[in-house]
């Protein structure tokens, strides 16, 4: 090996080390910003979540609750503030009798869309199953205020009369 080839290898090695150092620093900066929550927030992607939500609705209609929940988890990743994702997943959890998870999702749906009557209807139902009567009554009363002409209103009114 001549000295010219040896010099080229030394220069190449030095350039490689420098490039890896810069790359490592950029990776470290990116990791630090994520750890410190300084990274830009993820952008919602309705074009990804909408088909997942539609597919989850079909899965729920077909009794495929686990599949619906998996699809809604994917939709939440794409669009973390979509109230419909939390609403449907809450309904799915209620269908599996996982009422604690249903309550969590329905409360998030209500936080994101407080004027949707069905969010309150299902939350009332779930809290009834959890024996949390005060929360049940609160959500059912809100449901009736938002949707007084709903076909479900008479049965909710009857239920509320029985607990008062």
pLDDT at 23 over 50: no
Task: Render pLDDT for 54-99 as a digit per residue (tens, 0 to 9).
Answer: 999 999 999 999 999 999 999 999 999 999 999 999 999 999 999 9
More confident residue, 94 or 6: 94
Query: How many Å is the maximal CA-CA distance in the chain?
Result: 97
pLDDT given for residue 13 in this prediction: 44
User: Hey, where are the domains in the chain?
Assistant: 1-40, 46-163
More confident residue, 68 or 28: 68
**What value does the mean pLDDT take over residues 44-57?**
88
- Could you tell me the pLDDT band of residue 147, with boundaries at 50, 70 and 90? very high
DSSP secondary structure string for all residues of 1-13: --HHHHHHHHHHH
- Asked whether the whole model's pTM tops 0.75, one would answer no
Alpha-carbon distance 139 to 160, whole Å? Answer: 11
Asked whether the beta carbons of 135 and 123 are under 8 A apart, the reply is: yes
Q: Which fold has domain 46-163?
A: 1.25.40
């Amino acid at each position: 090996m001549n000295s010219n080839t040896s010099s080229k290898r030394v220069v190449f090695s030095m350039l490689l080390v420098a490039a890896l150092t810069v790359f490592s620093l950029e990776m470290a900066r990116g990791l630090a910003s994520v750890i410190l929550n300084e990274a830009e927030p993820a952008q919602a992607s309705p074009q990804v979540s909408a088909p997942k939500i539609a597919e989850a609705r079909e899965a729920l209609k077909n009794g495929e609750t686990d599949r619906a929940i998996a699809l809604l988890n994917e939709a939440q990743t794409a669009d973390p503030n979509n109230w419909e994702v939390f609403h449907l997943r809450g309904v799915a959890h209620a269908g599996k009798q996982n009422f604690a998870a249903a309550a969590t999702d329905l409360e998030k749906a209500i936080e994101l869309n407080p004027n949707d009557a069905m969010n309150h209807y299902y939350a009332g139902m779930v809290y009834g199953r959890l024996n949390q009567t005060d929360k049940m009554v609160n959500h059912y009363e809100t449901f009736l205020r938002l949707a007084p002409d709903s076909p479900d209103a008479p049965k909710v009114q009857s239920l509320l009369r029985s607990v008062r």
